[in-house]
Amino acid sequence: MLEALGLTIAHRLHEVTVQLRSGRVTAIVGPNGAGKSTLLAALAGLIQPTSGAVTLTSHPLTQLPPQERARRIGYLPQSGEVAWNLAVRTLVGLGRLPHRTDAAENYAAVADAIATMQLEPLADRALSTLSGGERARALLARVLATRPQWILADEPLAALDLAHQQALIRRLRDLAQEGRGVVLVVHDLALAMNHADHVLVLDRGRLIAQGPPQDALSENVIAKVWNLNASWLGQPGHKALAL
């Protein structure tokens, strides 16, 4: 379990307490400036809280050696920057740096991540030659190559076309069913409603609602947080939001 306990970060988060469980997809949603990216980075151990703590399996995240934390938590920021114009395969291989495994295991992990993100035709291309969506897929493949227990991704679907969005969400659900924890920051409330097992709703740094998507994303919550009169249409798993 990955937990935030009374997590406060000055001017960004206020006393947020959440319990994230392996085996499910959790979506973090909220208006711009709600604290979504801040919470995700704090859960990855990249931001130190003003007060409160983040724990992994009941142990403070700050007590984990950096290499161990990198093996257990894979983090994808909203805007990934790469300092060098690497080939896609080389970039994905960087996800194996926290591991001390043999070459065969590293090769298999990289090949699997490239295949998952449908990057085989691009594997030997330089990053500078890729489109924005292709680059986003390569950056996420680097995270997947680590084979972490937890995958924390900030808007991983934003730059993808519909086909790649659907392929990725299916793969992330498969990983959750294998026992990993998947936590995604998303803006698309219909995507969270249809594909997440658990939803956290933030507004101005505070946790407003959490629970199954049908509860956390009720029409009352949407009216309160987004100030919109909206209605859900359709069947479970195929719902659309009418404004």
Span 181-214, pLDDT tens digits: 999 999 999 999 999 999 999 999 999 999 999 9
Does the pLDDT of residue 83 top 90, yes or no? no
3-class secondary structure, 139: helix
If we measure between CA atoms, which residue out of 71, 83, 156 comes closest to residue 109? 71
Q: Which pLDDT score, from 0 to 100, does residue 3 have?
A: 94
Asked if residue 12 has pLDDT above 80, the reply is yes
**pTM, to two decimals:** 0.90
Mean pLDDT of the chain: 91
CATH 3.40.50.300 for domain 2-242? yes
Q: Answer whether 75's CB lies under 8 Å from 84's CB.
A: no
Is the per-residue pLDDT at 119 higher than 90?
yes
How many Å separate Cα 34 from the centre of its chain?
A: 16
Averaged pLDDT for residues 83-111 = 87
Confidence of residue 170 (pLDDT cuts 50, 70, 90): confident
- Residues present in the chain in total: 243
**DSSP-derived 3-state class of residue 90:** helix
The answer to whether 36 and 113 have CB atoms below 8 angstroms apart is: no
Percentage, residues of the chain above pLDDT 70: 99
- Calculate helix-pair angle for 103-116, 132-145, nearest 10 degrees: 140
8 Å CB contact between 201 and 207: yes
- Asked if pLDDT for residue 101 goes beyond 90, the answer is no
**Confidence band, pLDDT 50/70/90 cuts, at residue 2:** very high
- Check whether 9 has a pLDDT greater than 90: yes
The answer to whether 227 and 206 are in contact (CB under 8 A) is: no
| pLDDT score at 80 | 65
Contacts of 19 (CB under 8 A, 6+ apart): 1, 2, 3
Identify how many contiguous H helices and E strands the chain contains and give both numbers. Answer: 9, 12
Q: Which of 49-53, 75-79, 111-115 has the lowest mean pLDDT?
A: 75-79
Angle, vertex CA 70, rays to CA 199 and CA 149, nearest 5: 45
Rounded to 5°, the CA angle 122-127-132 comes to: 90
**Which residues make Cβ contacts (< 8 Å) with residue 105, sequence separation at least 6?**
99
- The reported pLDDT for the residue numbered 142 is 92
The pLDDT assigned to 168 comes to: 84
Predicted confidence band of residue 243 (pLDDT cuts 50, 70, 90): confident
Rounded distance, CA 231 to CA 194, Å? 14
Dig out the tokens for 156 from the structure: 């991983």
The angle subtended at Cα 147 by Cα 199 and Cα 128, nearest 5°, is: 90
Domain ranges of the chain: 2-242
Q: What is the pLDDT of residue 197?
A: 96
